[in-house]
Structure 1
Amino acid sequence: MKKIFLICSSIILFTCNTSAQKKNKKQSNKYTVVKTEAEWKAQLTDMEFYVLRKAGTERAFSSPLNKNVEAGIYACKACNTPLFKSEHKYDSGSGWPSFDREIKGNVNFSTDYNLGYARTEEHCATCGGHLGHVFNDGPTNTTGKRHCINGVALTFIPKK
C-alpha cells in the first residue's frame, strides 16, 4: 500500500502544471511589434520563423555568426532591435553564438519547462521573438552568464 501511495504521489508531483504558470507567461508578452503568423511567415525564412516564432533551435555549429569576431551589434532578425554587443561575445564551445550579457531593456526573460525542467528563455523585448536561453555557466571573470543564442535569430550590424 505504501508503494502505491508513493508512486501516485510521485506521479502527481511531477505532472503538476498549473494554469497559473501558463497564464503568467502569456500575461508578460506585451510587445510593440505585433504581426500575424502569415505576416511573420512572409518576412522570415522557414528556419527564422521556426526559431523566432515557434521557439525552435537551429543545429549547433550551423550559424556563421558563431565564429564572427567583427566589432558591431547583434540585432533581432525580425525587428532589428539591438540585443548584444560584440565585445560581450565569446566562444563558449557550445556551437551557438554566446554572450556574457545582453543590452539591458532589449531582452525579456521567461521560464521554459519544455524539457521537463526550468530554463531561462530569452525573447526580443520588442517583437517577442525567441532568441535562445541563458545559463549560469559563463565566464566567471565577467558576469558568469552564457546567453546561448540561435544565430538565425540575429542579424549582425558591423561597427562603422
Structure 2
Amino acid sequence: MNLSFLAPIVSFLGLIVGIFLSSITKDEIISGRKIFEFLRRISLTIIILIALALAVLNFNLIIILFAIILGLLLSRKLKNQKLSYLFLGLISASSLMTTKFMLLIISVLIFIYGLLYGALLKESKTEIIISNLLMFFLPFIILIMPFIGFG
C-alpha cells in the first residue's frame, strides 16, 4: 500500500506542533528567539538546496525552479513569511513525483521548518494555520484537478 500522500500532511503538522510547543514553553521561546530564527532560515536554505538537487536530477525542473524563485522572492519581500508555505507546498508536491527517499527528506525538513515557524509566531494562530494550510495544499489541489474531472 502506497502511503506517500500522507507525507505532506504529516509535514504540515510541524506548524501545529510548533504552535503547541510555543504555548507550553513561552519563556524558552523568548530567550531562544534568535536561535530559532537562525535555525528556521537554515532549514529553509537546506530545503532550497535539496530542491535544486531535485531539479537537476529530475524532469520537473520548471516547477522546482519556479518554486525556488518564488520562495526566494517571498522570503525577501515579506517579513512575516505568510506565503512561504506556498513555496513549501510546491516543493513538496514536486517531490511526490520523485523517489520516496527524496519525499521523506523534503517532508522532514518541512516539518522542522514548520516547528520553528510555529514556535516563533506572535499573531493570531488560527488565521495563520488556515492560510498556510490553503497555501501549502494549493499545489496538490492543482495537481489532482485533472484526475477528478476539472481539467
In terms of Rg, which structure is larger? 1
Query: Which has a greater percent of helix?
Result: 2
Larger RCO of the pair (alpha carbons < 8 Å, separation 6+): 2
Query: Which has a greater percent of strand?
Result: 1
